[in-house]
Amino acid sequence: MTTTVARRARVGRDRRPVWEEPPTRIGQGLKAAFLALLVLSVLFPLWVILVTSLSSREALAEAGGLVVVPRGIDTAAYETIFAGGAVTRALWISTLVTVIGSALALTVTVLAAYGLSQPRSVGYRWLLVYFLVPFLVYPPLVPKYLVVTGLGLKDTIWALILPPAISVFNLVVVRGFFQGIPQELLDSARVDGASHFRTLVRIVLPLSRAVIAVVGLFYAVSYWNVWFDALLFIDRNDMYPIQRVLQSYLLAGQAPHTSGGTTGVSMPPTEAIKMAVVVLTVAPIVAVYPFIQRHFIKGVLIGAVKG
């Protein structure tokens, strides 16, 4: 009897699915090589951009464009773009838009997601459908432009903050996470006399730090990279965010005045200046990401599974 059971167990192990087989050395080597190539494909362009931004005219001329191997450090490109004041002003505008917009969007998303996650909320099904319709059918551009201009938001930072103040995708993800919290825990808080707002602040939010960190990163990246709304609603050069200034450098080799004029100051169309602006545009997001990286994978997976 014991021999028969052992034989069946051995046969069961031999018939394991392919994905449960232990990896071979060749398989591990191929995976390591593939991951190394993937990381290199991401880091190599960033390296080229950084080295080119710190290269002199002689190094750029010798390389014929982008520089791969550094030949000394020359900060003339950064000194040039900061001298006019347009980049400094644009960085300040983008920082304001990102901080205020992310805080507002995250607050609205959390409050809406909590209300829609409670089955006893009045009309929560109809409200959920109301939120999902714009997600499935994107509103036309002309009504959006007329609404923003009709409210007097044109040429203000609120034209960049209010239109994308809530993302339905993020709302659905946060709502799905809130629904995964045991209802008994919320009911016990209500029995103890806690209001909905107190329950949200003291119980739900501490349990949802991972998904909130991820959604906050999504909003921050979206606001920092705002370009199309700035193209539509911002005509004053001194109100340009960093992405619009980046477009001016990359496409026209020009930096706008900070005084509100419409004429650009012609800049040397060197690759170093263009890459320096790219570095300043990418650096803030790259600097913030490591602080919330430990929440990123957990929040995305939990939100996706429970959503």
Reported as a single tens digit per residue, the pLDDT across 24-76 is: 788 788 889 999 999 999 889 889 888 888 887 778 877 777 888 888 788 88
Element containing residue 51 per DSSP (H, E): helix 25-53
Query: What one-character DSSP code corresponds to residue 84?
Result: S
Q: What is the pLDDT of residue 260?
A: 45
Q: Residue 264's pLDDT is what?
A: 46
Q: Other C-beta atoms within 10 Å of 6: how many?
A: 10
How many whole angstroms separate alpha carbon 218 and alpha carbon 168?
12
Please give the pLDDT value at position 269. 42
What's the confidence (pLDDT) of residue 15?
Answer: 60
Q: Using CA atoms, how far apart are residues 227 and 243, in angstroms rounded to an integer? A: 6
What pLDDT score does 135 carry? 73
Q: Cβ(86)–Cβ(237) under 8 Å?
A: yes
- The tokens describing 115, both together, are 């209300």
Q: Could you tell me how far CA 20 lies from the centroid of its own chain?
A: 35
Q: Alpha helices of 225-259 — where are they, by DSSP H?
A: 228-233, 242-247
Give residue 3's pLDDT. 58
pLDDT of residue 16: 59
Nearest to 162 by CA among 100, 109, 217: 100
Predicted local confidence at residue 258, as pLDDT: 44
pLDDT of residue 40: 92
Q: Look-up: residue for tokens 């087989």?
A: 21
Taking 70 as the pLDDT cut, the residues of the chain under it are: 1-21, 84, 252-269, 292-307
Strands (E), the chain: 254-256, 264-266
